[in-house]
């Protein structure tokens, strides 16, 4: 008898083992997914629920650790799903089981629908940042003319970007006054129109919180709306996304454009991860009520927005929690303060740190990566995705 420890990423190793024994690809992936180890934390749990949970979890082959008002439940996805779907549980467990079912990660979407066609998510999708503001925290107005922006867009596409994200209003800390709608249009719309003409196969995104700007951008050729307020600041932008059938990125943030990148709203008594998941769930529901199709949405945890460096790091470590929302995950760690805290590097030298953060995010389920410099992240993710994708003999 030979027994081998399936080292490395356990699920990938299990899938490889099943494939080596002749299992079909879809069957091996489905079976492997059922074995995925998950751990969930429950807070504000009543004593009677805790009392019923311990023996019940044991019957389902799950591990549970409890304390006053809280519980951590761990086990294979299949066993947790069986508990969440059971109809023969003590009444005291009903609210917990409902919450458990909502928190379970769903099947990972493999396509994102945009106004100009679907985006396949079977490999990393790079979103190139194209700030056309005179006061960007990173680019310092280098691409503020149409000619410079188009040239930069061409470079980003050549480097491997699939999407160009055009932004005309800075959200950096200590920024100047809010940019009015007409000025933001003046900065972004000519660039979007020029990019759409020059690169008809590229996907263009408008980074804005204003419905009027988003509407004009969609008419000029933008296929995606990237709203850092997720429709909080101008709810009409959700209806614009629905009417234009644009892809919609809903980013978690708090506050308005003037302070969302500060620490003014970085208060999460129950923890930053459950708060971000819960607030993004609310924004997805708002988008649904406005007529946006579920398949058109993407969620972004908003690293660095209303979050301290430690809170952003916590989100990076627990990014997989966003899989419970059932939508593709986009991350934008590019050159953020927490990268600087970890590396000690100034803004202009944080691209390797950004690539490392994106690599870790890929392993936790992120599929879209918004970056200023494409090449370092492109190569890091190509290696990670390639190692996972290439069949072993």
Catalytic residue numbers, as ranges: 336, 370
- Residues 58-91 as b/e (b if ≥16 CB within 10 A, e otherwise) read eebebebebeeeebebbbbbebbbebbeeeebee
With contact defined as beta carbons under 8 Å apart, do 229 and 260 qualify? yes
Q: What angle do CA 250, 259, 329 make, to 5 degrees?
A: 20
Alpha helix positions (H), the chain = 10-20, 25-34, 47-59, 77-85, 94-103, 146-159, 181-198, 211-220, 236-244, 272-289, 309-317, 337-343, 351-363, 374-389
Closest of 227, 243, 131 to residue 187, by C-alpha: 131
Beta bridge partners of 71: 42, 66
DSSP state of 356: H
In this structure, how many other beta carbons lie within 10 angstroms of the beta carbon of residue 266? Answer: 17
Beta bridge partners of 42: 71
In this structure, how many other beta carbons lie within 10 angstroms of the beta carbon of residue 39? Answer: 12
């Amino acid at each position: 008898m030979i027994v081998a420890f399936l080292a490395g990423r356990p699920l990938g190793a299990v899938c490889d083992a099943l494939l080596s024994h002749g299992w079909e690809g879809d069957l091996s992936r489905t079976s492997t997914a059922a074995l995925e180890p998950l751990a969930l934390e429950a807070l504000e749990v009543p004593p009677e629920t805790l009392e019923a949970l311990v023996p019940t979890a044991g019957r389902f082959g799950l591990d549970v650790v409890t304390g006053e008002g809280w519980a951590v439940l761990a086990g294979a996805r299949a066993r947790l799903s069986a508990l969440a779907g059971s109809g023969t549980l003590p009444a005291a467990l009903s609210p917990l089981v409902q919450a458990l079912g909502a928190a379970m990660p769903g099947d990972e979407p493999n396509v994102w629908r945009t106004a100009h066609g679907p985006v396949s998510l079977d490999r990393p999708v790079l979103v190139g940042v194209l700030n056309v503001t005179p006061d960007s925290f990173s680019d310092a107005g280098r691409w503020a003319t149409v000619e410079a922006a188009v040239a930069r867009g061409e470079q980003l596409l050549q480097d491997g970007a699939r999407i160009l994200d055009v932004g005309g209003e800075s959200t950096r800390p200590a920024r100047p006054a809010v940019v009015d709608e007409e000025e933001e249009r003046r900065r972004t719309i000519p660039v979007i129109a020029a990019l759409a003409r020059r690169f008809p196969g590229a996907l263009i995104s408008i980074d804005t919180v204003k419905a009027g700007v988003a509407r004009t951008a969609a008419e000029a050729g933008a296929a995606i709306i990237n709203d850092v307020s997720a429709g909080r600041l101008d709810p009409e932008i959700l209806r614009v996304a629905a009417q234009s059938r644009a892809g919609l990125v809903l980013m978690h943030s708090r506050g308005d454009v003037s302070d969302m990148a500060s620490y003014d709203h970085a208060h999460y008594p129950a923890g930053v991860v459950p708060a971000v998941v819960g607030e993004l769930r609310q924004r997805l529901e708002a988008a649904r009520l406005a007529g946006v199709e579920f398949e058109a949405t993407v969620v972004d945890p908003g690293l660095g927005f209303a979050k301290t460096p430690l809170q952003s790091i916590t989100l990076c470590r627990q990014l997989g929690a966003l899989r419970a929302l059932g939508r593709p995950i986009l991350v934008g760690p590019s050159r953020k303060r927490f990268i600087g805290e970890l590396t000690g590097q100034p803004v202009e030298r944080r691209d390797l740190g950004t690539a490392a953060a994106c690599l870790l995010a890929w392993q936790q389920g992120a599929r879209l990566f918004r970056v200023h410099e494409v090449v370092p992240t492109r190569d890091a993710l190509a290696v990670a995705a390639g190692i996972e994708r290439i069949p072993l003999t």
